[in-house]
Amino acid sequence: MAARLVQRCSWRHLGAFVSTPSAVPASLLVPAGKVVMARALPQAPFTLFHTSSWADGFSVKEQVEDSGNPEHKVIGELIETATSPQELFQLSELHDLNSNQASLIITQLSRLAAEKKLETESILQDERFQQIIGITDSQISQVWNNTLVSLLKSLYSLGMDSSRREMQSVEQEVLWRLRRLTFRQLASLAEFLAVKQGKESKLLNEVIKKLELRWTELEGTRTVVTLMAKVGHISPALMDRLEDKALELAEQFSPDDIRKITLALAYQNRRCVPLLRALSYHLIQKYPELSLNILMDLIFAYGKLNFHQPQVFQKIATDLHPHVSTMTPVEVTRCIRSFALLKWLSLPLSEAIAQYALDNTKQLSVTHLCNIILSFARLNFQPSGSEDFFNMVHEELQDQLDNLEPHLLTDLVWSLCVLQQAKAPYLQRVLVPEFHARIRGDQSLKAQNLWLKLIHINAAAKLESPDYRGPFLPVEMLNIAEPAGEKVTLLQSSLREALAGVLGSRDNGRFDVRTIYGWQIDAEVVMNNENKPLPLKDFAAPHLLRSEGTKPLPPGARRVAFLRWEFPNFSNRSKDLLGRYVMARRHVQAAGFLVVDVS
């Protein structure tokens, strides 16, 4: 009891000094970041405050100094209300400024330069500015934390040379004080440096280290969203913490917050499934109406991450449908491409986009039109007004084919083959020797994919275009090397096991058959008229580059092809799955097979 009484009396004795700020000796002023005591009311008990709890980032010392001197308060108001650099420079001539006031003037100069688009070089070269920065530099240790952070940002914004002594002095002071800055100040500084200087900044790396160590202080949706969008890509460790915090706060995010978070995840290729599921849930449950920009960014992010959430897709497609007629060509193209990447076909939305293309033909560039066709092919979508739509397409493209880049031209013709709209002029453009000679010998993955599509186009020309007379690809070029490291799926292994038991002998079946049409048949069997398997090696196989046998099939016998129907939703390599599968099925049937879909 006695000890508590002595402690209380000592606090009351110290409180007498703090309650009269103007009389506080310099030796008793507490540095920022320390615990200090202040009186709430003259008769009330004393209360302890910690500086990091102040929302604006000022310490208690800063609050006391700011409100204790009437002249300082007047100068502060004059700085804040100044509307031109000249007014601020005049203040420096009329008043004896301390380092904090000089720093505030520089911050205000930066703000005015940004708002009014002023020439910063003339500000930096002004003699009065040199005097102001000199005052700040000479007393840099006395600048308040919050003001110091703003000062550093302002100097960067004004474009001050990083090699100048004054600039290095401010940077060094910030570096020394990092442990004393609040989490909010650190987050604000990290956001600014990430945009202005990038990951090579030494100061930014130090700030991020402090954020990683103090991540438990992270609070508020705004800070989480900002750090994820602006800083997360620089530090995977910090991004892990931010994702955890975002999952915690998922219910509190606004639609715009959700948009920013999903975009940040998409740009960083971070497929955080728990967070995406939580955001999707709250998006559906809480927000019946979303703006066009949010809808567009959401579907783009889901498409880039290949994250499937059918309820969200249905909501986005339904909400986008009324906007289609007022969208720009870029927005329309971006929208349908995202849905194509997700392999999600919304008939009403796709019909609206097809009608948009018909109604706005003159506004669509050739690239926009090509991207719409590519997306329709990936989704295997045929507009209800198919004849009108493709007549418009042929009319717009007929004089533009020579201007298309080879990869885009190949994708366009391949897509028209999927949609069964490839006419002879399209086929001839990509099958002539001069065209494919440009990629022959190129071993890059992009060139291999392009070559595979040329083989598909060649197959469409042979099997589906009876009036087409050539040219065709040379036979020796119809062999595609097996992709390295391709894994056998569970469905493939299950199919092999099932067929091995039924066929009895491996001679009665082929597996993973690579055809001259560019398609892979998962299993091939020849059945006689009694539905019994026959040895394959005895019979001619025109679908293979080199056939083992020469005999024709017996009367009544037929070839059976097993095609795997899989939706590897999380593989970017399968983005053409719908259109690709449909065309493969047609070609294999045209080659004389009975097709069995396996799923």
Helices (H), 327-440: 329-341, 347-359, 366-379, 386-397, 406-418, 424-431, 433-436
Helical packing angle, 145-158 and 99-116, nearest 10°: 40
Note the pTM of the prediction, 2 decimals: 0.76
**Considering only CA atoms, which of 332, 334, 296, 330 is closest in space to residue 316?**
296
Q: Note the pLDDT of residue 245.
A: 94
In this structure, the strands spanning 593-598 and 510-514 are unpaired
* Rounded CA separation 100/320 (Å): 52
Full pLDDT tens readout for the chain, 599 residues: 444 333 434 433 333 333 333 333 333 333 443 333 333 333 333 222 233 333 344 444 444 445 556 767 777 778 887 888 888 888 777 777 888 888 898 998 989 989 888 888 988 988 898 988 898 889 899 899 999 999 999 999 999 988 899 999 999 999 999 999 999 999 999 999 998 888 888 899 999 999 999 988 988 899 999 999 999 999 999 999 999 999 999 999 999 999 999 999 999 999 999 999 999 999 999 998 899 999 999 999 999 998 988 899 999 999 999 999 999 999 999 999 999 988 888 999 999 999 999 999 999 999 999 999 999 999 989 999 889 999 999 999 988 888 999 899 999 999 999 999 999 999 999 999 998 887 777 777 888 888 889 999 999 999 999 888 889 998 888 876 655 556 777 777 888 888 877 887 777 888 888 888 988 888 888 888 888 888 888 888 888 888 777 888 888 889 988 887 755 443 333 444 577 788 888 888 888 888 887 76
**Considering only CA atoms, which of 287, 372, 389 is closest in space to residue 338?**
372
* Rounded CA separation 374/363 (Å): 18
Q: Note the pLDDT of residue 593.
A: 84
If one counts every other C-beta atom within 10 angstroms of the C-beta of residue 394, the result is 14
441: left (phi over 0), alpha (psi -120 to 50) or beta: left
**Considering only CA atoms, which of 375, 374, 376, 395 is closest in space to residue 384?**
376
Task: Measure Cα distances from 13 to 8, 50, 88 in Å.
Answer: 9, 20, 43
Q: Note the pLDDT of residue 278.
A: 96
Contact 99, 136 (CB under 8 A): yes
69-99 burial: b if 16+ Cβ within 10 Å, else e: eeebeebeebbeebeebeebbebbeeeebbb
List the beta bridge partners of residue 47: 38
Q: Note the pLDDT of residue 494.
A: 81
Task: Measure Cα distances from 336 to 367, 450, 575 in Å.
Answer: 14, 22, 13
* Rounded CA separation 55/223 (Å): 13
